[in-house]
Amino acid sequence: MIFQARAQVLADLQARALGTPDSVTVLEDACSERRWWLGQWPEGAPFIAGLVAQDVQDALADRFGRQAQEGLWPVCTRCDGSAVHALHIEPDLGGPDPTWVCEESGVAVAPLGGLSRGAAD
Ligand SMILES: [Zn+2]
């Protein structure tokens, strides 16, 4: 379960060429914490992938700052003409069916694990 979550998040980071050593390290940390969490609460399985993605986003923001999301985290390619803004995972609980949502417009962009490379989202 945790490996699938890791694979989904990593696939989306790599789809945007964001699979850097920093982000992979953060992802590994998030997965090991959530592996423990899942051991405590097996019913949390449907939420795990979205939670891992949210953990990684939070950890990157803590480490590099909210404004440093470009080049670290998937940004929205749907909205034309507005400032760069990030995608985030909804629902807030992490699942079920975690989905990338534009943080400005609230539009669903892709399922977690299904993010494409750019404008063709
Ligand atoms: Zn947007």
Q: Ligand 1 center to residue 8 CA distance, Å? A: 21
Distance from the alpha carbon of residue 54 to the mean position of ligand 1, in angstroms: 18
Share of the chain above pLDDT 90, in %: 74
Answer for the pair 36, 85: CB distance below 8 angstroms, yes or no.
no
* Tens digits of residue pLDDT in 35-73: 999 999 999 999 999 999 999 999 998 888 766 566 789
Distance 86 CA to ligand 1 centre (A): 7
Amino acid at 38: L
Q: What is the reported pTM?
A: 0.91
